[in-house]
Amino acid sequence: MGRLAQTDGLTEIQRDILATVRDFVDKEIIPVATELEHKDEYPTAIVEGMKQLGLFGLTIPEEFGGLGESLLTYALVVEEIARGWMSVSGIVNTHFIVAHMINAHGTQEQKEYFLPRMAAGEIRGAFSMSEPGLGSDVAAISTKGVKDGDEYVLNGQKMWLTNGGTSTLVAVLCKTDEGGSTPYKNMTTFLIEKTPGFGPNPTVPGLTVPGKIEKMGYKGVDTTELVLQDVRIPANRVLGGVTGKGFYQMMDGVEVGRVNVAARGCGVARRAFELGISYAQQRSTFGKKICEHQAIQFKLAEMATKVEAAHQMMVMAARKKDSGERNDLEAGMAKYLASEYCKEVVEDSFRIHGGYGFSKEYEIERLYREAPMLLIGEGTAEIQKMIVGRRLLEEYRLAE
Ligand SMILES: Cc1cc2nc3c(=O)[nH]c(=O)nc-3n(C[C@H](O)[C@H](O)[C@H](O)COP(=O)(O)OP(=O)(O)OC[C@H]3O[C@@H](n4cnc5c(N)ncnc54)[C@H](O)[C@@H]3O)c2cc1C
C-alpha cells in the first residue's frame, strides 16, 4: 500500500477489516475485473466472497447479526473495493442504503425480519426513487400508492435501479397523497420483497423488471427499470409503519450514499494514479522514461494531490455523520469534490498512457468509462452545489 490516502486514528478492528478487504481486492477482484466488465458479467464469485467476509452486514448492528461498524469503516471499505472495480461497490451500496434506512426508520418488526438476513447477504437491497421523467426533482414523482383495506395498491414506472434484477428487496418511493401539507409529506417508502431475475416477477403479481439497461460503463452490476401494475403491498411493509415520511427517509439514505459515492471516487482515482505512475516509469520517449519529463511529473503531482484531498474530505464527512452531527454540507462537498477529481485524475492517467490508454487491454480504458457515473449518481454536481450553497447561507446568514 502506498503513501497516499492514509487515515489517522483508526481502531485495530478497522485496520484489520481494511487489510482483509485490500487483500481480497488484490487477489480476487483486480485480476478478473476488466474481463468481467468487458463481458458485462455479474461477479457471482466475488459477491460470494464478500458474503463470507461479512461485508453485506458491515454496518448492521450486532444485535441483528451484523458487524455494527461505522459509516467511516464502510466508506473506507468501499474505497478499497472501488479501487478494484467500481461495479462491485455498486452491488453493496444500494444494499447498505436500504439496510441503513430500515435500521434508522423501520418498525421493530421490520428490523427483526429484514436485518439479520440482510447481514448474511441472503436478502439483497435495491433502492428506487428515480423515474423516467425525473431524477433530481424527487418531489415530481408520479408512481402512486393508494390504500385499499390493509393493503396499498402501487402503480407506476421506476427507472435506474442499481441491482434492480439481482436484488430481493426494493425500497420504492411512491406518492401516497394522504393529506400531507406539502408534496414532500405525501411520499411513502414501500419495502417490496421479490424474487431475483428479469421479466414479470413470479412472486409479486404486477411487478416487472423489464431487463438490463445497456450502459457505457459500470457494467457487471445490473441497472434496470421497474414497472408496477396494481402491485398489492401489505400496510405493514410501509417503512416505519407510517405514510408521508418517505421523502425524508430516502434523503437520509441518499446522504450516507453520498459519502459512499465520494469513497468510490477516491478508490477509482487512487487506482488511476497507481496505473499512471507505474506506466510513466516503464514508457520511454526521447531517450528517457516519460516520468523524467517534467510535464509528466507535474501531472503525477496534481493527480496525487487530488487523490489525497478527496480522501481526507470523504473521511471528514463520514466522521461527521458517525459523531451524530448533521453532515449534509460535508457529504455534498465530499461527493462533489471526489467525483470531479476522480474524473480529472482518470483523464490524466489516460493521457499518460498515450495510445495504449485507448486499448481495451489496459485497465485505464475501463476506469475512463466508469468515472462519469460518479458525476451523476446520488445527485449530480449541480444538485450537490445547491445543497452546499443553501447550507452555507444558513450558516453564514447576516443578522437582520
Ligand atoms: C448508472 C446509474 C445508476 C443509478 N442508480 C440509481 C438507483 O439505484 N436508484 C435511483 O433511484 N436512481 C438511480 N440513478 C438515477 C440518478 O440518481 C439520476 O440519474 C440522477 O439523480 C440525475 O437525475 P436525471 O438523470 O433525471 O437528470 P435530471 O434531473 O433530468 O438533470 C439533468 C441535468 O440538469 C441538471 N439540473 C437538474 N435540476 C437542476 C437545477 N435545479 N439547477 C441546475 N441544474 C439542474 C442536472 O444536474 C443535470 O445536469 C442511477 C443513475 C445511473 C446513471
Of the listed ranges 83-87, 162-166, 227-231, 396-400, the least confidently predicted one is 396-400
User: Distance, CA 136 to ligand 1 centroid (Å)?
Assistant: 5
As for ligand 1, residues whose beta carbon falls within 6 Å of it are 94, 127-130, 134-137, 160-162, 215, 218, 223, 373, 376-377, 379-380, 382-383
For the stretch 258-274, pLDDT in tens is 999 999 999 999 999 99
278 and 367, same domain (yes or no): yes
User: Distance, CA 377 to ligand 1 centroid (Å)?
Assistant: 7
333 and 374, same domain (yes or no): yes
User: Does this model's pTM top 0.85?
Assistant: yes
| Neighbouring residues of 52: CB distance < 8 A, sequence distance ≥ 6 | none
Of the candidates 266, 265, 246, the one whose C-alpha atom is nearest the C-alpha of residue 254 is: 246
Flag whether 3 is in a domain: no
Selected catalytic residue, list 214, 378, 382, 394 = 378
Task: Print burial letters for 156-186: b (CB count within 10 Å at least 16), e (below 16).
Answer: bbbbbbbbbbbbbbbbbbbbbbeebeeeebb
Flag whether 4 is in a domain: no
User: Distance, CA 181 to ligand 1 centroid (Å)?
Assistant: 26
73 and 167, same domain (yes or no): no
Flag whether 192 is in a domain: yes
38 and 78, same domain (yes or no): yes
167 and 288, same domain (yes or no): no
pLDDT attached to residue 178:
84
Query: What CATH number did the domain enclosing 324 receive?
Result: 1.20.140.10
- What is the best residue among 158, 216, 255, 380 to mutate for testing ligand 1's pocket, by most ligand atoms within 8 Å of CB? 380
**Residue 318 to residue 202: CA distance in whole angstroms:** 40
pLDDT attached to residue 99:
97
Flag whether 287 is in a domain: yes
253 and 240, same domain (yes or no): no
133 and 109, same domain (yes or no): no
pLDDT attached to residue 84:
98
For the stretch 212-233, pLDDT in tens is 999 999 999 999 999 999 999 9
Flag whether 336 is in a domain: yes
* Domain extent at residue 89: 12-119
Q: Which residue has the cell 421479466?
A: 199
Please confirm, yes or no, whether 370 is among the known catalytic residues: no
214 and 295, same domain (yes or no): no
Task: Print burial letters for 314-347: b (CB count within 10 Å at least 16), e (below 16).
Answer: bbbbbbbbbeeeebbbbbbbbbbbbbbbbbbbbb
pLDDT attached to residue 1:
67
Query: What CATH number did the domain enclosing 176 receive?
Result: 2.40.110.10
**Residue 174 to residue 130: CA distance in whole angstroms:** 10
Query: What CATH number did the domain enclosing 48 receive?
Result: 1.10.540.10
Q: Is the pLDDT of residue 181 over 90?
A: no
385 and 264, same domain (yes or no): yes
269 and 329, same domain (yes or no): yes
Flag whether 302 is in a domain: yes
104 and 177, same domain (yes or no): no
pLDDT attached to residue 194:
98
Report the interhelical angle of 294-322 vs 328-352 (nearest 10°).
Answer: 160
Give me the number of domains the chain comprises. Answer: 3
270 and 373, same domain (yes or no): yes
Specify the DSSP class assigned to residue 170. E
Flag whether 48 is in a domain: yes
Flag whether 18 is in a domain: yes
